[in-house]
């Protein structure tokens, strides 16, 4: 196992506990070193900086799987990995709680104008006035996108005594006393705080523009901890400067600097009661630990059992922990064959024929296909395992085959 970019220590320990040899490097190596460390690797774990291009992947002949210890997978050529029969795993929802907590904290901060109070105190000004500061209890929170994060925000906000309404493109089971409204406009006109938790899609680009901001209640607040493309920031700056909105919190922006220390510019800089954070909604030590547990779990299930559940680029096959059938003391365990192949007609029948020729029986078969790739797992009753492997390799459509046991 090769873990790069200082993947969390829990991941290193978890692999070692399972008996794997782990090489862990702090940074992201340059292309030449990357090719060198991947030369013998069976699994590579990366974060967002290491680019696994088609060329890099091709230089890793033993590679079985990639673990992205982060949310996104843009840094990996997913199609190239799929064509090689290399599943890529990530952890899309491990930081849900972190984003939800930040969001609810921001609701309170906006209502208490904490950004101004703290700035004044740092400047030596004591102003104990209650003007413009409010409790959140009894206010209406409007959640746009009631998925993993939106629904967590809903629960936390209700614990604060807020009334929760939400809008989602699909009907969702409301948690607690939350209520789904008919459409976005109904939410905008009724909410005291609007918080966005939708994905970046063509439909959500500019979802909150001048027309939607106008529909929001005078004196209301907007929070965007989702994706920068969802809000027209220039229009938001106008709505704040005219006083139509009383404040906003933004963690994501249409254009974000790529590296630490880079300059950041936005139309809302300098506007009163605006909280700006550098896309840290999901960045907590707890989320990092949860990501490590999640990705390690998925990788181990693939390496040890063959399950590809959670893979972003290959067919997902969920397998029982143990091969079915009688695994009693007398009975020997069936072989398990993991077979990635080109998704064309006739491959399975070729596999069946080859195994039947060896006089062996298939006790279980699990197949899924995705685009040009098929993944089948066969449990084959005890026979000459090496011969099974050789015959599977000889099938022309075979991309990669592994005999687990």
Ligand X SMILES: NC(=O)c1ccc[n+]([C@@H]2O[C@H](COP(=O)([O-])OP(=O)(O)OC[C@H]3O[C@@H](n4cnc5c(N)ncnc54)[C@H](O)[C@@H]3O)[C@@H](O)[C@H]2O)c1
Q: Does 170 bind ligand X (CB under 6 A)?
A: yes
Instruction: Determine if 297 is a binding residue for ligand X (CB under 6 A).
Output: no
| 8 A C-beta contact, residue 312 and residue 78 | yes
Among the listed residues 302, 256, 247, 293, the one whose alpha carbon sits nearest the alpha carbon of residue 277 = 256
Residue 103 interacting with ligand X (CB under 6 A):
no
- Looking up tokens 């904490």, which residue turns up? 114
Of 163, 227, 335, 391, which residue is the catalytic one?
Answer: 227
CA nearest 91: which of 302, 298, 308? 298
Is 208 or 377 the residue whose CB approaches ligand X more closely? 208
Regarding 206 and contact with ligand X (CB under 6 A), the answer is: no
Residues contacting residue 391 through CB under 8 Å, at least 6 positions apart:
354, 355, 357, 358
Of 279, 333, 342, 400, catalytic: 279
Choose which of 75, 204, 290, 398 interacts with ligand X (CB under 6 A): 204
At 123 the three-state DSSP class reads coil
Total binding residues toward ligand X, as defined by CB under 6 A = 30
In degrees and rounded to multiples of 5, residue 74 shows phi and psi of: -65, -25
Contact 57, 63 (CB under 8 A): yes
Q: Is 173 in the site for ligand X (CB under 6 A)?
A: no
How far apart are the C-alpha atoms of 229 and 376, rounded to whole Å? 39
- Catalytic residue check, 119: no
279 binds ligand X (CB under 6 A): yes
Question: Any contact of residue 148 with ligand X (CB under 6 A)?
Answer: yes
Residue (of 110, 107, 223) closest to 161 by Cα position: 107
Could you give the residue ranges of the DSSP H alpha helices within 163-314? 184-190, 210-215, 233-241, 285-304
Residue 95 engages ligand X in binding (rule: CB under 6 A): yes
Interaction between residue 164 and ligand X (CB under 6 A): no
Q: In what order do the strands lie in the sheet with 398-403?
A: 362-370, 373-380, 335-342, 398-403
- CB nearer to ligand X: give 7 or 196: 196
Residue of this chain nearest to ligand X (CB atom): 147
Q: Which is nearer to ligand X, 199 or 382 (CB)?
A: 199
**Known active-site residue 135:** no
- Min. distance of Cβ 110 from ligand X in angstroms? 17
Catalytic annotation on 354? Answer: no
* Torsion angle in degrees (nearest 10) through CA of 233, 236, 241, 242: 150
Please identify, among the stretches 9-17, 144-152, 260-268, 385-393, the one whose residues bind ligand X according to the rule CB under 6 A. Answer: 144-152
Say how many C-beta atoms besides its own lie within 10 A of residue 168's C-beta. Answer: 18
- 215 makes contact with ligand X (CB under 6 A): no
**Binder of ligand X out of 21, 203, 318, 372 (CB under 6 A):** 203
Q: Which parts of 332-371 interact with ligand X (CB under 6 A)?
A: none
Residue 115 or 283 with smaller CB distance to ligand X: 283
- For ligand X, the binding residues (CB under 6 A) are 93, 95-96, 99, 144-150, 167-170, 197-201, 203-204, 225-227, 251-252, 279, 281-282
Which positions are catalytic?
Answer: 227, 256, 279
């Amino acid at each position: 196992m090769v873990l790069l970019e200082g993947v969390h220590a829990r991941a290193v320990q978890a692999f070692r506990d399972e008996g794997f040899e782990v090489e862990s490097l702090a940074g992201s190596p340059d292309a030449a070193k990357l090719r060198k460390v991947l030369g013998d690797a069976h699994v590579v774990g990366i974060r967002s900086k290491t680019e696994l291009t088609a060329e890099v992947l091709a230089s890793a002949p033993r590679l079985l799987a990639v673990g992205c210890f982060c949310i996104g997978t843009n840094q990996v050529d997913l199609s190239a990995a799929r064509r090689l029969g290399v599943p890529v795993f990530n952890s899309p929802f491990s930081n849900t709680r972190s984003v939800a907590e930040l969001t609810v904290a921001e609701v309170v901060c906006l209502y208490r104008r904490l950004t101004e109070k703290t700035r004044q105190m740092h400047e030596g000004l004591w102003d104990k006035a209650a003007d413009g500061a409010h409790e959140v209890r009894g206010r209406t929170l409007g959640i746009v996108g009631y998925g993993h994060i939106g629904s967590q925000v809903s629960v936390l906000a209700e614990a604060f005594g807020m009334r929760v309404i939400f809008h989602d493109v699909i009907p969702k089971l409301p948690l607690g006393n939350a209520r789904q409204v008919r459409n976005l406009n109904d939410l905008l006109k009724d909410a005291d705080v609007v918080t966005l938790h939708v994905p970046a899609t063509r439909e959500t680009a500019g979802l909150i523009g001048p027309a939607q901001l106008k529909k929001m209640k005078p004196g209301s607040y907007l929070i965007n901890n989702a994706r920068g493309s969802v809000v027209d920031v220039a229009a938001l700056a106008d709505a704040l400067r005219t006083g139509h909105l009383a404040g906003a919190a933004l963690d994501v922006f249409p254009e974000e600097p790529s590296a630490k220390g880079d300059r950041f510019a936005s139309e809302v800089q300098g506007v009163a009661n605006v909280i700006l954070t550098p896309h840290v909604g999901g960045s907590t030590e707890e989320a990092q630990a949860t990501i490590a547990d999640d990705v390690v779990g998925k990788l181990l299930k693939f390496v040890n059992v063959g399950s590809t559940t959670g893979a972003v680029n290959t067919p997902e096959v969920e397998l029982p922990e143990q091969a079915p059938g009688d695994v009693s003391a007398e009975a020997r365990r069936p072989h398990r064959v993991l077979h990635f192949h080109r998704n064309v007609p006739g491959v399975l029948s070729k596999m069946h024929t080859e195994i039947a020729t060896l006089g062996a029986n298939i006790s279980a078969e699990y197949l899924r296909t995705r685009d040009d790739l098929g993944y089948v797992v066969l449990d084959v009753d005890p026979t000459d395992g090496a011969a099974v492997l050789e015959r599977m390799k000889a099938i022309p459509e075979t991309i990669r085959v592994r005999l687990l046991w």
